[in-house]
Structure 1
Amino acid sequence: MDYPLQNRKVAFVATDGVERVELEQPRGALYGAGAKSEILSIHPGEIQARQFDLNPAGTFPVDRLLADASVDDYDALVLPGGTMNPDQLRMNNDAVAFVKAFVESGKPIGVICHGPWTLVEADAVRGRRLTSWPSLRTDLRNAGAEVVDEEVVIDGQLTSSRSPADLPAFCAAIIDQFARAPSRVT
């Protein structure tokens, strides 16, 4: 069996309100490709997941606080959506600083649905081509992004998708993009 992400470590930045399927499916796909992952958040303990933004959908344990995390510890980053999750992250200095540092590192980033809100706050979408949930598209354009309505968009280090309906294509794309990037974590 081929494990293209063996010895790779991926950070999932999320907090309460994360859309369960947008964290769980990419994490499972990356694990199946050999990657290890950690959930980084703005508070310790567990984060509350949601289904369709409204319905409680269980919890995920937090592996590390964003305030204690270093970009150097990870090969790639995933920013799942859910409306509440990125709305809280973009208001948190530690989350924005971590995402900004990750962008500056040049390492690959996968982002889906409402996840780009944190990239907007980190001033990381100007001149970039990406997609998102429809309600974010004006925010992305106002922040200088070229917004398209496609299942998956790859622009340099950024791989973006629109919604949970795009998860099969998103998961395949991030595995491919993360495998192409050099492993920098020792």
Structure 2
Amino acid sequence: MRLEGKTVGILVGPGYEDLEFWVPLMRVQEERANVRVIGSRAGERYTSKSGGLTVESEVAAGQVSAGQLDGLLVPGGWAPDKLRRDRHVLQLVQDMHAQKKILGFICHAGWVAASAGICRGKRVTGSTGIRDDMENAGAVWVDESAFREDNLVWGRVVADIPNFCREVVRALSKPEIA
């Protein structure tokens, strides 16, 4: 399995998008990655945007360091709007980026990247609802399903999850930046 021995964090917050959380989580687990569910607080239960699913955070963003992770995934939904206000989340994202660790953003997750200040001059995609925010953060908006830009992996929307997951697994298995 391609990700055996790797540790991947996945952020969660209130109103997370079910499929954008669960499918990438299961996909990296399928490749034998160890997954850590990270929230603003440890041991908190978060309900999905649809209200149907809950997940409990294992660890708080302030309790995990970039050195403990090989990659970090940020699902969309309404959670990124809350997560972008958490200085520990932003610090973790900034540290991961500084260490050239793989970061995956899908749909509204780009809000976190914008608030962390890591997308200036980078090609990005996501829900069209965040396009203005991303461009105002200095990013170059593209309408593509999923792609890798240096250490950043981008996915557009729920329908693009298969392509996003493929790019995430590929990036985590070959994290070197060309």
Q: Distance in 1 between matches of 2:128 and 2:109?
A: 12
SS of the aligned residue for 1:15 comes to coil
1:154 pairs with 2:148:
yes
Provide the residue aligned with 1:86 in structure 2. 80
Q: Distance in 2 between matches of 1:45 and 1:132?
A: 29
* 1:1-20 aligned within 5 A: 3-20=1-18
Aligned alpha-carbon RMSD (Å): 1.1
Provide the residue aligned with 2:51 in structure 1. 56
1:119 pairs with 2:119:
no
Q: CA deviation at 1:15?
A: 1.1
Paired letter, 1:76: G
1:45 pairs with 2:28:
no
Task: Return the TM-score normalized by structure 1.
Answer: 0.91
Provide the residue aligned with 2:27 in structure 1. 29
- Per mean C-alpha deviation after superposition, the further-off stretch among 40-49 and 157-166 is 40-49
Q: Deviations over 1:85-105 (max 9, x none)?
A: 011111111111111111111
Q: CA deviation at 1:134?
A: 0.4
Identity of aligned residues (%): 27
Q: Distance in 2 between matches of 1:143 and 1:62?
A: 29
Paired letter, 2:84: R
- Equivalenced residue count is 176
Q: Contact conserved, 1:141 with 1:147, CA < 8 A, in 2?
A: yes
Q: Deviations over 1:89-126 (max 9, x none)?
A: 11111111111111111011111000010110110010
SS of the aligned residue for 1:127 comes to coil
5+ residue gaps in structure 2? Answer: none
Provide the residue aligned with 2:132 in structure 1. 138
Q: CA deviation at 1:47?
A: 3.2
Q: Distance in 2 between matches of 1:115 and 1:49?
A: 17
Q: Distance in 2 between matches of 1:12 and 1:139?
A: 22
Task: Return the TM-score normalized by structure 2.
Answer: 0.95
Q: CA deviation at 1:48?
A: 2.3
